[in-house]
Structure 1
Amino acid sequence: MFIVSLNYIKPLEEVDGFISEHVAFLDEQYRLGHFLLSGRKQPRSGGVILASVKDRVKLEQILAQDPFQREKLASYEVTEFLPTKSSDALAFLIET
């Protein structure tokens, strides 16, 4: 599992021009089962994605399709983690 932290590197006016394409990209990744959760940072400096992709190379290939990356609007920090504890509601995320 991975946490992807996006940080905008261009003005919000430029980012906003690609929001609809970015949302379509996210929708497709949810449909494919690659993403579990995503949202904006507050204050609005970027976003966070929780990805269930098992392979970092595969995740990087997926992220390369994001319009924010394609247009060089954001930088991406990818952190792999192995969840070992959760609330009951998120127990399905714990790998056995």
Structure 2
Amino acid sequence: AHLAAHVVVRDRTCRFPTCHRPAILAEIDHRIPYERGGTTDPDNTWALHTGHHRAKTWHRFATATDLHGTTWWITPAGHRYPVEPEAIGPIRTRIPEPVPF
């Protein structure tokens, strides 16, 4: 339950290209399948809604993640579609001043 909650909060939406369905409605999928040595932890799981989970598992879509965190979805025909990592917000160089109330 903790892993699923972590993945839902982290991913926010299905991680398939152009899909914006909420992660809370998605399935938690192993990027590298468990039976091929994939681990059940946040680094190897993500949110995919049912149709996209099936496309990856049964229709031979492949994925690869580069050093910048972009996940590339590769179709059976070889077309590549990027999914950029979610922005986490601006990095602040100083702590904001408290609100004067």
Both structures adopt the same fold (TM-score exceeding 0.5): no
**Larger helix fraction of residues:** 1
Higher strand residue share: 1
Relative CO higher for 1 or 2, CA cutoff 8 Å, sep ≥ 6?
1
Under TM normalisation by the shorter chain, which class is it? under 0.3
Kindly name which structure, 1 or 2, has the bigger radius of gyration based on alpha carbons: 2
TM-score normalised by L of structure 2: 0.27
TM superposition score normalised by structure 1? 0.28
